[in-house]
A and B are shown apart, each in its own frame.
Chain A
Amino acid sequence: MARKINLRIWRGDATDGGLQDVQVEANEGEVVLDVIHRVQATQIGDLAVRWNCKAGKCGSCSMEINGKPRLACMTQVASYGDDETITVTPLRAFPVIKDLVTDVSFNYKKAMEIPAFEPPKDLKPGAARMQQVDVERSQEFRKCIECFLCQDTCHVIRDHEENKKSFAGPRFFIRIAELDMHPLDMLKNRKRTAQEEHGLGMCNITKCCTEVCPEHIKITDNAIIPMKERVVDIKYDPARIFAGLLKREKRN
C-alpha cells in the first residue's frame, strides 16, 4: 500500500546549499534509498546520491538520516512514524561534492599509509595451516564494508578538521588490529605505530563507531581497547624501559 511521506533532502554543493522538502510515494517494505530514487526518477533528475548493491554489502549509500549516520539501503521507511518527516543529509565529517554525495578520499589516503600485510618470506602457496579459531579474530574486522560511517561519527574528526592529519580513524584501527592478529603477518610493531603514527591515543573509547557499524563489528571492544592495552604494556613495561636504556648506553 502506497502512502505519501515527507522527505527533506539537503541539496547543494561545497559553496552553498540547504534543505528542500518533497512529498513522495512510499510502498510497503521500502527503504529510504528507494524513495530517494523515486524522487530522482520523477521530480529531481539530477539529485546526486551514491549507491551500489542496495543490499548492505558495499557500503556506498552512507548518509545521515534524521542526524544519524546510516546506510540508506538498510533503513526502512516504516521505522519512522507516519507523520514524521525523514531528513536526509550528507556525511558531516567529509566535504560535500553535491547533494548527498561527499568526498571520502580522506579514507583512501589513510588506507595507503597503513603498512601492508607481510607474509613469511619462506611461505609456499598452499602450505599455510591456520586454525579456524585463529582466523576468526581477524575475519571479524575483514567483514568491514568500508561505508565509513564509523569515520563520520567519530568525534575526533567529525567537527575537528585539524585532527584529520594525525588520526586514521576507527576503520583503520580495525585494519591495523586485523593485521596485528593475522596468523601469517610478520610485520612487527603494528600496535606501536598505531599509537605513534595513526593517532590511536586520540580515541577516548566512547564507542560511537561500534554503535553505527552496519556489520556489527565490535570496533571498540575487540580492536581499539585490546590495542590500547597492549600499547600501554609495551610503552610502560619497566623491563622494556630498562632494556631500552641499556641499548642507548651501549650506543653511546
Chain B
Amino acid sequence: MTTDKSTLERYKYDVLVIGAGGAGLRAAVEARELGLRVAIICKSLFGKAHTVMAEGGAAASMGNANSNDNWQVHFRDTMRGGKFLNHFRMAELHAKESPDRIWELEMWGALFDRTKEGKISQRNFGGHEYPRLAHVGDRTGLELIRTMQQKIVALQQADKREHGEYESHIKVFSELTITEILKENGKIAGAYGYWRESGSEVLFEAPAVIIATGGVGKTFKITSNSWEGTGDGHALALKAGANLVDMEFLQFHPTGMVWPPSVRGILVTESVRGEGGILTNTNGERFMFKYIPDVFKDKYADNEAEADRWYEDQDNNRRPPELLPRDEVARAINSEVKAGRGTEHGGVFLDVSKRLSAEIIKKRLPSMWHQFYELAGVDITKEPMEVGPTCHYVMGGVEVEPDTAAAVGVPGLYAAGEVAGGMHGSNRLGGNSLSDLLVFGRRAGMGAAAYVKQTTAAPVSEATVAAAAARIEAPFARSGGENSYSLHAELQEVTHNLVGIIRTGDELKDAIAKIADIRKRSANVAVSGGRKFNPGFHLAFDLDNMLLVAESTAKSAIGREESRGGHTRDDFPGMDSGWRQYNHISSFDGNQVSVRKQALPFMPKELFDLFEVEELKKYMTPDEVAKGGSN
C-alpha cells in the first residue's frame, strides 16, 4: 500500500506536541492558554504515558514539612546530585518555579496527600536535604497525568462553549507515531507519521514542534521503562539537526525488581527507602555505610544508631546512607552482588517490614504492596524485597536554551522533560523529574508560543512529503530481510553487557563496532503482515531510533575518561574536575553520530556564592574556585 498523495491526511496547527506524558501535556496546556491551536501526538492511548509509572513524588521547596527549605537549598541539592555538571540556569529555574507548578496542579483538581495543617505533605527522598516531595501515596505520576489530562478536557469543554467544538483548539492524536520532523528553509515546518491502528500516513504542518517523548530505556535489556521508551525524540531531534548533550549519563535506578524474570527491572520506588526501608546483603549486613563517598561524608550517618535517629530528629542527625543519590546506591548494590554477597537472583534485600507496621506500609506504599504480592508472591509487610539496579532515566538529551526550551540550532524546535538534556547534570535526584517536566513543559509551551507569533512557516514541499512516505514504505517492500525483534534483542545484549552500569574503554570500543553492525543490518529489516496495527512494523521504526541513541551513548561514554554520576568507567574510576568543565555534544550527519567536547557554561557569582568554597573545591579546579563565578 503506497499512500496516494491526493488522499493523504493533512493537518495544520500552530504547534505540534510530540509526546503526551507530563512534559507534553503541560506544554500543550500552556500553548493553548497562550492562544495557539495545538495538536498532541501520543504513541499510545491518551493518559497511558510512562509518567504514570512515577511513584515517589514531585520535588518542590514549598517548605510545608520543614520551613527551612527554600529554592536555594533545592538548587544546591540538585547541583550536588548532578555532580555540578548540570546547566546552572536550568537547575535554578527548576528550583525557583516548581512550587508554583505544584500549587497550580491543585487548582486543576489534583489531590495530594496532606500535612496535619492541611497543606500538601512532603516526603524525604535521596539527595534532598529536607522532606520535599509532594506525593499521592506511591502513585504521584498517575495523579499528574490524570490532572493534566483532565485539564486538557476542561480546555476542550471551554472551546466547545466558545467555538462549538471540543477539538477546535486542542486535538489529541492517539496511537500515532511520528517518523520524521520536517523542515523547510532551515526552519521547522511540521512532522510526518503514521496511525498505529491503520498504518496510514499523516502530514502535520506547523511552525513549531515540541518534543516531549521521554526516555530511552528500551535500548537496554533490564529497564523500568515501558515499550514507548525508545528514544524517538532523541533520534528525531538528531535527524532534524539538533544536538544531544551528555548522552553517556544514564541513571540506573538502584532498586528494580529482580525476581521473577518476567518482572525484572520493574521499579521499586525510592519512597520505600524514604519511608525507612534498609538495604542488606545475604550476610545480613546493612552495607550502605561502607559506600559513603568523601563528598557526602558530612551529610550522611556512618552508623546505624544515628541513621535510625534521623527519622525522628532530622535537625540533629545525619541522613541514613540508603538515601544517598541513586548513582551511589546503584553502584554499591552492584559491588555487593559482584563480591558474592547478593541473592541467588542477583539482587540484595530491601526491607521496610521491620520499621513500619503492616497498616502503614499498605497506606503509604499501596502500589508496592500490590506489585510484590501479585507479581512476586511476596508480602512486603512481612518479608524483604529482592532488588537490583535497572535502567531508569537518561540525563542526556536535546541541547536546549534553558529559558525557552528551544533546541539549539533548529528554529521552531523545542524539547522538554526527559528528552531534554542539561537540567540534571550527570545524575538526577529522585523527585526532580516530575517537577522538571512541569517547569520546562510550561516553558516550552511559552517558548513555542512566542516563536509562532513572530514567524511564518513555509508550507511543506511535496518532495519532502514523498521522501518521508518512501521511508515508511521501505520495510514492506523487502522480503526475507532481518527480523526487527531479533535485532532489538541483540542491541539490548550489547548495551547491557558493554555500555551498562560499569564501563571500560575496550568494551565500549567493541560496543561501538557491534552497534554499527546491527545498524547496517537494520537497513534490511523486512516486515511481515499488513499495515494495520502491526507491532513488527512499529518496532522497525523504534529500532532505528534506539540504534542512534545507543551509538550516541557509546561514543559519548568512550570519550569521557572519568567516572561521574551515571557514567562509571572501571578504567578511570575517579571524578576529574578537568572533565567537569565539558559537556559532550552529539550530532548526526545523516550517516553517523559524532561527539565533541563543549565548554560548560559557568555559574554566575550569585549562584556560586550559595555554596561553601570548601565544597566547591571537591568538584572544581583551583582556577575555577579562585575565579568565584562568572559575571
| Interface positions of A (Cβ within 8 A of B) | 13, 27-31, 34, 40-41, 45-60, 74, 76, 97-99, 101, 104, 108, 111-112, 114-117, 119, 123, 125-126, 128-132, 135, 138-139, 142-146, 179, 182, 184-185
Given A45-B535, A54-B266, A129-B117, 9 further pairs, Cβ under 8 A = A29-B261, A30-B260, A31-B375, A48-B534, A53-B52, A55-B371, A98-B197, A116-B154, A128-B118
Question: In the complex, how many angstroms separate the beta carbon of A154 from the nearest chain B beta carbon?
Answer: 19
Most chain-A CB neighbours within 10 Å: which of B45, B108, B172, B174?
B45
Contact status B260-A28, CB under 8 Å: yes
List the 7 closest pairs (A to B, CB-CB), nearest first: A29-B260, A46-B529, A129-B118, A117-B109, A116-B154, A125-B103, A45-B536
Question: In the complex, how many angstroms separate the beta carbon of B19 from the nearest chain A beta carbon?
Answer: 14
Contact status B44-A126, CB under 8 Å: no
Contact status A146-B535, CB under 8 Å: no
Q: Tell me which residues across on chain B come within 8 A of A49, comparing CB atoms.
A: 535
A143 to B45, CA, bound (A): 18
Cβ-defined partner of A52 (8 Å) among B107, B109, B226: B226
Contact status A117-B150, CB under 8 Å: yes
For residue B489, which residue of chain A has the nearest CB? A41
A104 to B47, CA, bound (A): 13
A114 to B50, CA, bound (A): 25
Contact status B45-A50, CB under 8 Å: yes
Known interface pairs A117-B108, A143-B139. Does A50 touch B44 (Cβ–Cβ under 8 Å)? yes
Question: In the complex, how many angstroms separate the beta carbon of B498 from the nearest chain A beta carbon?
Answer: 23
Contact status A48-B142, CB under 8 Å: no
A34 to B260, CA, bound (A): 12
Cβ-defined partner of B118 (8 Å) among A40, A50, A130, A143: A130
Q: Tell me which residues across on chain A come within 8 A of B483, comparing CB atoms.
A: 45
For residue B371, which residue of chain A has the nearest CB? A55
Contact status A46-B530, CB under 8 Å: yes
User: Interface range on chain B: under 10, 10 to 19, 20 to 34, or 35 or more?
Assistant: 35 or more
Q: Tell me which residues across on chain A come within 8 A of B174, comparing CB atoms.
A: 108
| Interface positions of B (Cβ within 8 A of A) | 44-48, 50, 52-53, 62, 99-100, 103-104, 106-109, 111-114, 117-119, 121, 136-137, 139, 142-143, 146, 150-151, 153-154, 156-157, 166, 172, 174, 197, 226-228, 259-263, 266-267, 367, 370-371, 374-376, 483, 485, 489, 527-530, 532-537
Q: Tell me which residues across on chain B come within 8 A of A48, comparing CB atoms.
A: 532-535
Most chain-B CB neighbours within 10 Å: which of A48, A49, A58, A108?
A58
Q: Tell me which residues across on chain B come within 8 A of A13, comparing CB atoms.
A: 532
For residue A40, which residue of chain B has the nearest CB? B535
Cβ-defined partner of B139 (8 Å) among A27, A57, A111: A57
Question: In the complex, how many angstroms separate the beta carbon of B87 from the nearest chain A beta carbon?
Answer: 27
- 20 A-B pairs whose Cβ atoms sit less than 8 Å apart in the complex: A27-B261, A29-B263, A31-B375, A45-B527, A45-B534, A46-B527, A52-B44, A52-B48, A52-B226, A52-B228, A53-B50, A58-B48, A97-B197, A101-B197, A108-B172, A116-B151, A126-B103, A128-B118, A132-B114, A135-B112
For residue B139, which residue of chain A has the nearest CB? A143
Contact status A146-B529, CB under 8 Å: no
Contact status A97-B533, CB under 8 Å: yes
Cβ-defined partner of B166 (8 Å) among A46, A112, A138: A112
Question: In the complex, how many angstroms separate the beta carbon of A162 from the nearest chain B beta carbon?
Answer: 23
Q: Tell me which residues across on chain A come within 8 A of B260, comparing CB atoms.
A: 27-30
Known interface pairs A48-B533, A53-B53, A129-B119. Does A29 touch B259 (Cβ–Cβ under 8 Å)? yes
For residue A34, which residue of chain B has the nearest CB? B262
For residue B156, which residue of chain A has the nearest CB? A112
For residue A179, which residue of chain B has the nearest CB? B109
Contact status A46-B534, CB under 8 Å: yes
A169 to B106, CA, bound (A): 26
Question: In the complex, how many angstroms separate the beta carbon of B116 from the nearest chain A beta carbon?
Answer: 8
Known interface pairs A29-B259, A126-B103. Does A57 touch B533 (Cβ–Cβ under 8 Å)? no
Q: Tell me which residues across on chain B come within 8 A of A179, comparing CB atoms.
A: 109
Question: In the complex, how many angstroms separate the beta carbon of B444 from the nearest chain A beta carbon?
Answer: 21
Question: In the complex, how many angstroms separate the beta carbon of A121 from the nearest chain B beta carbon?
Answer: 11
Contact status A142-B259, CB under 8 Å: no
Contact status A54-B226, CB under 8 Å: yes
Most chain-A CB neighbours within 10 Å: which of B259, B371, B535?
B535
Contact status B263-A55, CB under 8 Å: yes
Known interface pairs A58-B52, A60-B45. Does A117 touch B154 (Cβ–Cβ under 8 Å)? yes
Known interface pairs A52-B44, A53-B53, A132-B114. Does A41 touch B485 (Cβ–Cβ under 8 Å)? yes
Contact status A56-B371, CB under 8 Å: yes
Contact status A116-B46, CB under 8 Å: no
Known interface pairs A57-B52, A117-B109. Does A142 touch B156 (Cβ–Cβ under 8 Å)? no
Question: In the complex, how many angstroms separate the beta carbon of A130 from the nearest chain B beta carbon?
Answer: 5
Contact status B227-A99, CB under 8 Å: no
Known interface pairs A45-B483, A125-B103. Does A115 touch B157 (Cβ–Cβ under 8 Å)? yes
Contact status B46-A108, CB under 8 Å: yes
Contact status B106-A125, CB under 8 Å: yes
Q: Tell me which residues across on chain A come within 8 A of B172, comparing CB atoms.
A: 108
Contact status B62-A126, CB under 8 Å: yes
Cβ-defined partner of B533 (8 Å) among A28, A99, A108, A184: A99
